[in-house]
Amino acid sequence: MRKGIGIVDMEYGRVAGEEQNSITLFRGIPYAKPPVGELRWKAPQPAEPWEGVRECRRFRDMCIQNPGWVGMDAFEHHSQSEDCLYLNIWTPAASAEEELPVLFWIHGGGFQGGLGDEELYHGWSLAAKGVLVVSINYRLGALGFLAHPELSRESEHGVSGNYGLLDQIAALRWVKKNIRGFGGDPNRIVLDGQSAGGMSVGALISSPLTSGLYSAAIIQSGGPTAGRAVTLSQGEQIGVELLEKLSCRNLRELRSLPVEQVLKASCPEPGDPLQYQPFVDGYVLREDPYEAISAGRIGQVPLIIGGNADEGLFAPFGGKEYVDFLASVRAIFGENTEDFLKLYKVTEENFQRACLDAQRDYGFLNIQRVLSRLSKVHPCPVYQYYFVEPIVLEDGTFVGATHSAELFYVFHTLSVMGGSTPEGKPMKPRLSQAQYALSDAMGSYWSNFAKHGDPNSPGLPGWAPLSSTAPQYLRLEAEGIQTEATRFPEKLELLKSKL
């Protein structure tokens, strides 16, 4: 049997991992100093070197966070702390000379929670397809995205708030500098992230600080959305209000507080907009990633962008009660309200399902709008996918192709699907051989893209890039993978006329 890579020499010291079936996993390599004490709310600093061989055989702490953003099993059984700036590497290489492509994974969680080593993200399967997988932790919530005038004044760049993005950039620079020792190719690094991780990828390809650090990018269910950008001044005002809430007169007092107090004071209430997220600060982000991506002012690399059928993120209509749903529809569609109700077959009994369908179409329309503009100005191929394979429980309950459902297919971790949810109620999904085959195909598309900037290879259904004259996407479903030009055109035309 082929051997793993063994001990790796890096600029900071030597590391040893754990080998399994010729793949070596290095857990918890530090890419920056612990952001504690005076380094709380400062840009990440280079890690300290060490003597001898560092045993990287356990995952390190996830960023301390409030509950509700990650599976309850991980939240309750995974240690947490501010000392969280570590990364993990799955490498199939046997030597540093192999120069294999690298997938740089950024987890989601609304910029409030999550961790890079959650079981559904494990990189064994993609590594078996010839790709190094790197997963990272980064600062979250107020620890990662607190802006304040005093923080901006102490910064050499006159800004504050994007510490979580700066962590991601520091990890990316670390990979660019060190990955060759693990058998990786520093010139073939594909960014990949889902939800807030996908938004992070959109931010990174829009940032002037990442030029030359990546060769391709994948945005999963985190496509750019108009109207979400927050300015530095808005973020600083949020920071001023947090200090007042905590009765802190200055940053020194804030930095001296136990982190649990900061977490409690900054925890969003149910239904509140997320306050702690990336800011357009003029340094890390010069403009709204939505505008940058729509206009092609991004890294000139191949892209994959897509979403899932039943997630409907950021749609401007909804409501828990029928009367609230109707009010939101009338406010948007006005004289065309009846057209909307007829197209979506809305009744008081099924309005929640109809709402999900309309939100699904809105999300699809949003991505197509952005990609239509991008395809006219971006010089590299852009591939769109639409994941429609539903989660169906053993008792027949239809859950749908929900937010995050595609991750189990990309990472080939179907065996842990439903095992842990943010609500703490495990699900038991029904799985078939066709779904495992879909997972294998999706892993091949992703690994091909990391290798060549093109997801295609013999034996897979063809995936054509977008063009300004032929909008098309790859529909991912266990019954069959196929190319489509659009979905529900009559519904999309109505949405397009009002949104």
Return the structure tokens found at 218: 């994948």
Burial class (CB in 10 A: 0-12, 13-18, 19+), 157: exposed
Contact call for residues 333 and 340 (beta carbons, < 8 A): yes
Contact call for residues 305 and 194 (beta carbons, < 8 A): no
Torsion (CA) 467, 471, 474, 480 in degrees, nearest 10: -130
Contact call for residues 118 and 70 (beta carbons, < 8 A): yes
Interval 422-455: pLDDT, tens: 655 778 999 999 999 999 999 999 999 999 999 9
Contact call for residues 265 and 248 (beta carbons, < 8 A): no
**Ranges of the chain with pLDDT below 70:** 1, 72, 271-272, 312-316, 420-424, 468
In the residue annotation, 403 being an active-site residue is answered as yes
Tracing tokens 């496509």 back to the chain, one arrives at 223
Interval 331-390: pLDDT, tens: 999 999 999 999 999 999 888 888 888 888 888 888 888 888 898 899 999 999 999 999
Counting DSSP H helices and E strands in the chain, the numbers are: 16, 18
Identity at 57, one-letter amino acid code: R
Q: Within its chain, how far is the Cα of 34 from the centroid? A: 23
pLDDT of residue 315: 65
How many Å apart are CA 372 and CA 403, to the nearest integer?
Answer: 23
In the residue annotation, 195 being an active-site residue is answered as yes
Max intra-chain CA distance, the chain: 73
Active-site residue, from 195, 215, 375, 447: 195
Active-site residue, from 403, 406, 439, 447: 403
Return the structure tokens found at 62: 């996830």
Angle value at C-alpha 74, between 72 and 77, nearest 5 degrees:
100
How many Å apart are CA 102 and CA 189, to the nearest integer?
Answer: 5
Phi-psi region of 490 (alpha: psi -120 to 50; beta: other; left: phi over 0): alpha
Phi-psi region of 390 (alpha: psi -120 to 50; beta: other; left: phi over 0): beta
Active-site residue, from 82, 236, 311, 406: 311
Asked whether the CA dihedral 200, 438, 185, 8 is positive or negative, the reply is positive
How many Å apart are CA 122 and CA 106, to the nearest integer?
Answer: 12
pLDDT of residue 359: 82
* 375: CB partners within 8 A, 6+ apart: 382, 466, 467, 468, 471
Tracing tokens 């504050």 back to the chain, one arrives at 160
